[in-house]
Chains A and B, each alone.
Chain A
């Protein structure tokens, strides 16, 4: 469903993503782990078409993001790490606008909006202007707008940022449900507990380079002895940094 092939991104003198290759299957819940500045957000922005790769290719649901962007984007629902939303619109208007951007019928948009606002506890404030929302409210709205058009691929950058524990639980449940329903979920995070709890598979990235891909269990027991994911993650990143120097 998601295929990254030798993907690189160069910013002037910095190589943010270095020859990254990955495949994520349909219905899989995949976590992309890495410390701050590892290249996670850059990779995600290239996957959703917000950035152009310096080299390499990306396929989403069989469509090339470069040559068939409309078809590829129609399959994707995206939640950025900091969701900047139109301040002067109300939440309701934003959802209506996003639905119309994806050519949905007004009636369908309203039905979906109703379901999502109940599920994410947004009903009370969805008619207010976004300018007055807290970070957590904006994040919930961003989730709702990503789920609205029933995407086949969900790409989420730091899913739990700004969410209270109750909403975080709801989002985790929703992501699991989506994955079970056949939606491919790709999340980027530096929160290891989230990755451990949700993921079918994880990938670790540092300084733009992919350091490993596998299931959580395969990471934990790589040297025959069980480590927790955090210790294993820190060791992999440290080894890579030492090798880099």
Chain B
């Protein structure tokens, strides 16, 4: 099976290289540019924080730990959602199950496939962060190698193992409860655990409580973001492995490497054993769901009256909504991302934090971090949900192509649907977080304005490139968004967010130092021009691609 997969991939790659050499060259330059640019950006940011003394060092360490914690969380859930298709819904599995193969062999092949599909995009995006942080910690080349092979790779592996175990459990339980209910329960359990973990076990120790006076608020803010590093999760081990020789001796490094390797090995044994017992059974349960799903369901969305929408637009919106709600890979991930945002907001709302007590520099840093977080969320949401929108029409695209309206209408409908949902969501999060942070009204308005431009740019970029790189034969949205075009999209989105954050930093600095308003105008003008390019060009290319598409 592995050999067949390898041949399949080789054939696909040689075909792609023959047909799209120039495209691949340009895209590779963009990806390498992002890795290098991101590395320089993180490095400069880190060096800047380290110059702020002990507090900056703590801030940097916590951000890094927080980064890996978020990546671990995203990895587990992306593995879980991709796993639904990879292990159960793929026609290939249905075919393989008819062959004289042991179901655990099929599981192993699909495990590797799932690991690669869910991890490679995050791995590429994590390169600049890890390189920069390693450099700041003074890691040698050999230590980088150790971190990569005995840290990052087992980290990805453990995330896949955890997700597979969870998936096997959920599918088995789906005999008693609907998958939809199980995923909602899972999300609620995670939110409750996060909440309890952040609020009940809160220990304000990192900055020594009252000793640092009004820095206590910063400590609480950082602690609320990531809590005190929890030693039982892989994010902690990985953060520890990244420490330089001054903070971590070789014996401790060996300990964390061994911890990773043994946990990964034990995880593999456990998941193999569980799959041996449960995979085929759970596959049968999923199959019985597919047959049972042919019961009648009342459809109301299409009959609803949508104010301001005419027939075709109403049909397109209703169809997108119904399809979204009936594709677990879509709504489950949206739900989980919403839970993650909710946890962030709940923690910001902690009444014991007094941000106004902080020195202006740290207040501004937190505002900027918050804005960057909003940008990151928006980039993740657009790349994950807007990018696959055109591809998700699948082979039914012909129905729209031969309907009596221009394909521009389809494009416009998708743009505004995405804009309405995502802009509203991020704006609510921005307003709430600004309120909790006690941000001044003029800065809150400025940040909201930047967020509006960011929404326009990122939604257009994802929609446009999603059409350029449309995969009408792929039904799994996770696979679509982690494809080559998806990576280009997330890379360009992150470049835009970084530039916006930089512009916001400059504008706030100039504003606070009563700097020349001419410079502020120039910076805002630059962001407007950048947004126009990000909005107009991808939509134009996407529309041309859609118009030229022949089924």
Contacts and interface: CB of A to CB of B under 8 A. Distances in A.
B319 interface: yes
How extensive is the interface on chain A, given as a class?
A: 35 or more
Contacts of A102: 311-312, 403-404
Given A70-B405, A78-B402, A84 B394 contact: yes
A80 interface: yes
A100 B299 contact: no
Given A45-B550, A88-B322, A101 B294 contact: no
B544 interface: no
A98 B399 CA distance: 8
A234 interface: no
Nearest to A42: B550
B293 interface: yes
Contact of A100 (B311, B326, B327, B394): B311
B290 A84 contact: no
A100 B402 contact: no
Interface in A85-116: 85-90, 92-93, 96-104, 106
Contacts of B400: 101
Interface stretch (A30-38, A49-57, A182-190): A49-57
Given A52-B550, A85-B396, A93-B299, A129 B319 contact: no
A131 interface: yes
Contacts of A106: 303
Given A84-B394, A127-B299, A131-B293, A76 B402 contact: yes
B326 to A, nearest CB: 4
Interface string B284-309: 00000011011111110111000000
B214 interface: no
> By DSSP majority rule, is chain B's interface helix, strand, loop, or mixed?
helix
A87 B327 CA distance: 10
Q: Count chain A CB atoms within 10 A of each CB in B291, B298, B401, B404 and give the residue with the most.
A: B404
Nearest to A96: B302
Interface in A111-156: 125, 127-129, 131-132, 145
Contacts of A88: 322-323, 326-327
B318 interface: yes
A71 to B, nearest CB: 7
B550 A70 contact: no
A51 B406 contact: no
A93 B326 CA distance: 13
Contact of A96 (B290, B295, B303, B550): B303
Contacts of B293: 129, 131-132
A74 interface: yes
B295 A97 contact: no
B395 interface: yes
Nearest to B401: A50
Nearest to A75: B404
A129 B294 contact: yes
A85 B399 contact: yes
A48 B395 contact: no
A22 B551 CA distance: 24
Contact of B395 (A45, A73, A84, A104): A84
A73 B398 CA distance: 12
A162 to B, nearest CB: 16
Interface string B318-349: 11001100110000000000000000000000
A70 B408 CA distance: 12
Nearest to B548: A52
Interface of A: 45, 48-52, 69-71, 73-74, 76, 78, 80, 84-90, 92-93, 96-104, 106, 125, 127-129, 131-132, 145
6 shortest interchain CB distances as A-B pairs: A100-B315, A84-B395, A132-B294, A74-B404, A127-B296, A88-B326
13 contacts: A48-B402, A70-B404, A70-B405, A73-B403, A88-B323, A89-B323, A93-B299, A93-B319, A96-B299, A100-B302, A101-B316, A101-B399, A145-B399
